[in-house]
Amino acid sequence: MYLDEKLDEYDDDGTMPGNVETLREAVVGHRIVHVDVGTPTTDKWGYPSSAALVITLDNGKRVELLNSSDCCAYTELNHFLTYPDRIDHVITGVGTSDGYTTWHIFADMGDVLELSVGWSCGNPFYYGYGFDITVRELDDVEAAA
């Protein structure tokens, strides 16, 4: 449905396509039960952090996309849009457009969820960027609360 985008070697070191692939692996084949801005328990280093987006799936997992910022490099969710008439369809893919600034989570009927993403690699590639994506079992999230 969406062609794989190719960025110039000075714009991205593979971080953005890697983020899309990680999200794709987590959500394809499932339905979205709930989408919200939320707070996960910890980031990947064990520190408290706020999630840009939390997607709860029908398999009892939460996919958390955390904003990142490292000096002049960053990745952040600007806003998201759900399509309620398609939300009950099984996700068949994740794609991007506009230089990885629009992310599309889609089913056979079209987009289920659309993300507007701001990002920059900063001073290539000295600083870190890209979403920190974590997949958690819903039971683990509830136990930590």
SS3 track for the chain: CCCCCCCCCCCCCCHHHHHHHHHHHHHCCCCEEEEECCCCCCCCCCCCCCCCEEEEECCCEEEEEECEEECCEEEEEEEEEECCCCCCCCEEEEEEECCCCEEEEEECCEEEEEEEEEEECCCCCCCCCCCEEEEEEHHHHHHHC
Question: Using one digit for the tens of pLDDT, what is the confidence trace for 63-115?
Answer: 999 988 888 999 999 999 999 899 889 999 999 999 999 999 999 999 999 99
Give this prediction's pTM.
0.88
Question: Considering only 12-16, 35-39, 86-90, which range has the smallest mean pLDDT?
Answer: 35-39
The pLDDT mean for the chain works out to 89
> What pLDDT score does 52 carry?
77
pLDDT of 56 over the 60 cut = yes
> What pLDDT score does 44 carry?
60
